[in-house]
Structure 1
Amino acid sequence: MNIGKSIRLERIVNRDTGRTIIVPLDHGVSVGPIEGIADMREAVTGIVAGGANAVLMHKGVVRCGHRARGRDVGLIIHLSASTSLSPFPNAKTLVCTVEEAIKLGADAVSVHVNLGDETESKMLDDLGHVTEAAASWSIPVLAMVYARGPKIKNEFDAGVVAHCARVGNELGADIVKVPYTGDPDSFATVVAGCCVPVVIAGGPKIDSRRGLLEMIRDSVQAGGAGLSVGRNIFQDAQPTELLKAVTAIVHENASVEQAMEMLGRG
């Protein structure tokens, strides 16, 4: 790995733990200005105060608050998009280039691929071109890879998720984001199939903080490199406090009970 990419990765991945806490804030394109991200500067400030390593957002809102008051945070610019209003919401298309992201000060870029969708070939082609361009600029790529399509019976199946992770790895991503498989043993097989860090997605809003913390703890114990979780963080009643508990688990190896004690409530 070249020095430029190494330096940028250290702005996203904690150099001491080899793990990361990424908070995606790209939901405005897919579902609109939902609760928690209406004011981007306020959202980022609270996220950074909680200890997140990086935020992820689309190019247009970088100017609205990509850096928090007080200190910097790693910036990942998302290159692909679709909306929930489309008849084909799983068909992601590129809306930004690696070069645009670099001009905006990105430390990394990200691409979303839905395996099994009718437009899978186009999304794979996009990922291949992005990793090629990113390599020439020494900028890391996060690949969000999910299984969503007519042939997919269970997108959380360990074999399916392992396939998703391996696709991101094989096509040149530096970090791969996939769903959690539900238990540490099965997720360990996902991690074992990759030679790059694997982080978990948060999925739909989880009602229980304990449930979220248990999922995160189990994933890192299985060898995962942390998380890239959006709504379950920024839509929490106290996202800064929740992130402090998440930080204790990811970077300090705290137990779920210790993290819950930090929150003081469920």
Structure 2
Amino acid sequence: MYGKSLRLKRIFKPDGYSAVIALDHGQFQGPIPGLVDIRDTIQKVIMGKPDALILNPGVLNKCHDCISGDVGIILRITGASTNYSPKFDFHRLTTSVDHALRLGADAVIVMCFVAGDGEIPSLEIVAKIAEQCDKEGIPLFVEVLSQNSKSNDVTCIATGVRAAFELGADALKVYYTGGDTFSTITSAVPIPILIAGGPKDLDAFSMVREAIDHGAKGVAFGRNVFQADDVTEYVRKLVSCVHHHAK
């Protein structure tokens, strides 16, 4: 199963950490600021030398020519729901693992909702995709979100990440819950956890350093990056923050 190991090395650097930029918001939120000209944004992000990008299949297919070969690609393969959906309960499978490989992805990512109506079907998707990923030798990232009223419910998220790991996840993406609680989540699994950025935060870099101190293996930031005044410089600072603080 060395295929997974080789592909993970394209995303996580020799120090074991990764600075990932998420540019997959358009599938759910449309042409929001920073993503209207997706090709221009990709080019600006690439100049900052991130470790990997999270993209949707159509973007990778149509914009592959502006993506350098030294950046890892994590392909979003679940979705099928926009902000206008009357029932945003959970994501459906939208792309096969085989298609992700044909597009050149180094890993795939699926959404997993816990503590709500979407939990059972989400975990079923995780399990089925994990089996396919094992067969094809491609890593599976799982983004765990709580559907209950407290999105930062540590016990709930820790249970969700453990369930995803038990079903075959190779890496995870979650929202940061704070320094006094996040180690409960990172200690729940023996696989890497990246923190999501969420809304723009002027103290985002302090959050990154704190999260790494409590067990995170890097970041998967979106809006903080592509809505920054200087996208390229923000990526450079983020990469430096992740890898220098990890030493």
Q: TM-score, normalised by structure 2?
A: 0.94
**Matches of residues 164-243 of structure 1 in structure 2 within 5 Å?**
164-183=160-179, 185-206=180-201, 208=202, 211-243=203-235
Q: Is 2:141–2:173's contact at 8 Å kept on the other side of the alignment?
A: yes
Q: Unpaired segments of 5 or more residues in structure 1?
A: 256-266
Q: Could you tell me which residue of structure 1 aligns to residue 101 of structure 2?
A: 102
Aligned CA-pair RMSD? 1.7
Deviation at 1:161? Answer: 2.2
The one-letter code matched in structure 1 to 2:197 is G
Change in Cα spacing, 1:93 to 1:70, as seen in structure 2 (3 Å) is closer
The residue aligned with 1:130 is 129
Residue 166 (structure 2) pairs with residue 159 (structure 1): no
Question: 2:32 is matched with which residue?
Answer: 34
Distance in 2, Cα, partners of 1:122 & 1:159: 20
Q: Counterpart of 1:262?
A: none
> CA, structure 1 residues 115+173, in 2 after alignment: closer, same or farther (shift >3 Å)?
same
Change (3 A) 1:168 1:66: farther
Name 1:249's counterpart in structure 2. Answer: 241
- The percentage of aligned residue pairs carrying the same residue is 34
Q: In the alignment, which residue of structure 2 is the partner of 1:114?
A: 113
Aligned residues: 246
Verify the 8 A CA contact 2:49 2:71 in the aligned structure 1: no
Q: CA deviation at 1:70?
A: 5.5
CA separation in 1, counterparts of 2:109 and 2:8? 13
Q: Cα distance 1:200–1:254, how it changes in 2: closer, same or farther (>3 A)?
A: closer
Please give the per-residue CA displacement for 1:123-165, whole angstroms capped at 9, x wherever unaligned.
11111110100100000011001101xxx23111322221222
> Could you say what secondary structure the match of 1:29 adopts?
helix
Measure the CA separation in 1 of the matches of 2:92 and 2:152.
Answer: 24
Helix, strand or coil at the partner of 2:181: helix
Q: Give a deviation string over 1:50-107, Cα, whole Å, max 9, x none.
A: 1211111111111232454665311111011121111122321111010110111110
| Native 8 Å contact 1:161 1:179 kept in 2 | no
Distance in 1 separating the partners of 2:67 and 2:106: 19
Shift in Å, 1:180: 0.3
Structure 2 CA distance for aligned equivalents of residues 164 and 101 of structure 1: 25
User: Is the 2:78–2:95 contact (alpha carbons within 8 Å) kept by the matching residues of 1?
Assistant: yes
Bigger Cα displacement from structure 2, 191-200 vs 61-70: 61-70
Change (3 A) 1:254 1:224: closer
C-alpha displacement of 1:244: 1.2
In 2, the alpha carbon distance for the partners of 1:69 and 1:112 equals: 24
Matched, 1:142 2:134: no
Deviations 1:9-37 (A, max 9, x none): 111111x2101111111111101011112
Letter of the 1:99 counterpart: D
Higher RCO, Cα 8 Å, sep 6+: 2
Unaligned 5+ runs, structure 2: none
Distance (Å, rounded) in 2 between the aligned partners of 1:161 and 1:127:
15
CA, structure 1 residues 55+204, in 2 after alignment: closer, same or farther (shift >3 Å)? same
Residues 161, 181 of structure 1: 8 Å contact kept: no
Deviates more, 1:196-205 or 1:33-42: 33-42
